[in-house]
Structures are given as C-alpha cells and as structure tokens.
Amino acid sequence: MSKEKNTLPTNRFESFKDISINQFRLLLKIGLLTLLIFIPLIIIFILTNIKVYEINLLLSDNLITDTEALIEINGYLNARNILFIVFIPITLYLLSGIFNIIRKTVWQEGVMFWYDYKKGLKNNGSYFLILGLIIGIIFFVFNYILREELVNHSISNLIALCFSIVALLILILFIPLLLHQTIIYNLKFTHKIKNAIIIFSKYFYLLIILGIINLIPIFLLFINNGLALILIIILDCILLIPLIIVINTLVTDSLFDAFINYFHFKEIYRKGLFDNAENNN
C-alpha cells in the first residue's frame, strides 16, 4: 500500500534510506528475481573463465605455444561476446519489469509484484530490448578492437579503439537517462536523446559519479578467485544491482524534476516526497 502523506520522506536521501530499510523484503525478492534473470549471462561468463583458465594452465606447462593459446582464448572470448549480443537484450528486457516495480516503490505507490512486473515488460520491454542490443554490440566491438590493439599495434587499431572507448563512455553515461525516461514518459527517441544531452551538459559530474556506481558490479568481477567470484556474482544480483537501480531511479528523478517535470509534468514533480503530497492535496 502507498504511504500516508505525513510519513513520506522529504528528500531523495531519505527516500533511499526508507526504501533500503522498510522495503528490504521487497528488495530481496527483486534481488532473487534479478539473480534468476542473470543466470544465462552468469553461466556464459563462468564457462568462458574456466576455459581461459584451462588454456593458461596448458600454456604454463608448455603444452601449447603462446600463439596457440592466444588463438584459443580469442576464440572463446569472441564466442562469449557474440552470446552476450543475444542475451544482454533478453536480460535487459526482463529487467524492465523490475525497473517498473522500483519506480512505483520510489514514488511510494502500492506494488503488486507480478502484476507490476508484467506491466513493465509490456510497456517498456521492447525499448529495453533495443537498448540491450546496442549495449551488446558496442561491448563486442570494444572487446574485439581492444584485443586487436594489444596483439597488433597500429594507428588504425588505436584510432578504432579510441572511438569504441568514446562510444562506451557515452553509453555508460546516457543509458540511465534513456532507460528511466522510457519508464516515465511517452516520448520519441530523438526527444529522449535531446533531454539526455541537455541534462548531461548541466550535470555531467553527477552522471559520471552515477556511471562509476553502475560499474561497481562489473569491477568486482575482476577478482581472481573462483569461489569468491561466484559469491560476489550472487551478492551482486541479490543485493547490489537492486540498490543500484534504486539509486539510478532517485538520481534521474531529481534530474527530471529540475528539467522536465517542474515545467511540463507538475503531477509527478518530486513524486514520492512529502511536499509533493502536500501540493497535490
């Protein structure tokens, strides 16, 4: 159920604290569903790591040459990244329902878990799917060019790597704005891009911080310990990713309030906060 207006948080920091403490069971349920959604990507990631580890063992025992090891590792990594092009869009499509649940939670609306999850899939799933495909392709291109540059140093590879890094950085910074606009507004893609550019030009430093926060689950995957890595992946999905989606929702809400809602959508300006409840009653 939604809260009485006098019990609502008064700012986004209080909202995060309120959700983290009072909606912990809901976040745990979201986390378990997130883990289930990520299982295909987790399996692909772990199996690839095992094969690369086995190849490195053969190399260390001088059973294969450096060239043979490099060819085999590149083959497995390319196969992994091609599979990511398929499964990242599917994963993001399935996450669109979770984004909808967290959106309603941040706005202090009542949540009917599976109904709101399916509604999120229906309303936003196709757009999340397309963005997931773009993410998968850029990830594949970046990894491919990076390995090419590490093996064959050339001006053309370096230039291509620079372009792919720029594309990846733009993606990291703009994806939160595009995803959360999709959940709230019925806008053309060009309008979403325009809004994202305007907001980025004003608050680029905040979006850089948000981008770093969003990359934390990926940074943790570089831990070189098999059992610890599996535990981290599970904790990433169950605890960290739901909280990061909450943070993204709260931050983008604040940005949208300043540049969109205050001027065009008064009914959702600071929605979920106490002063909004006062203004709408």
**Reported confidence tier of residue 166, pLDDT bands at 50, 70, 90:** confident
**Reported confidence tier of residue 82, pLDDT bands at 50, 70, 90:** very high
- Reported as a single tens digit per residue, the pLDDT across 113-136 is 999 999 999 999 999 999 999 999
pTM: 0.90
**Reported confidence tier of residue 279, pLDDT bands at 50, 70, 90:** low
**Reported confidence tier of residue 42, pLDDT bands at 50, 70, 90:** very high
What is the average pLDDT across 15-35?
96
Query: What was the pLDDT predicted at 248?
Result: 97
**Reported confidence tier of residue 2, pLDDT bands at 50, 70, 90:** low
For the chain, the DSSP string reads -PPPGGGS-SSHHHHHHHHHHHTHHHHHHHHHHHHHHHHHHHHHHHHHHHHHHHHHHHHHTTSS-HHHHHHHHHHHHHHHHHHHHHHHHHHHHHHHHHHHHHHHHHTT----HHHHHHHHHHHHHHHHHHHHHHHHHHHHHHHHHHHHHHHS--HHHHHHHHHHHHHHHHHHHHHHHHHHHHHH----HHHHHHHHHHHHHHHHHHHHHHHHHHHHHHHGGG---HHHHHHHHHHIIIIIHHHHHHHHHHHHHHHHIIIIIHHH-GGGTTTTSHHHHHHT-
Which tokens go with 193?
A: 């891009």
Q: Is the pLDDT of residue 278 over 80?
A: no
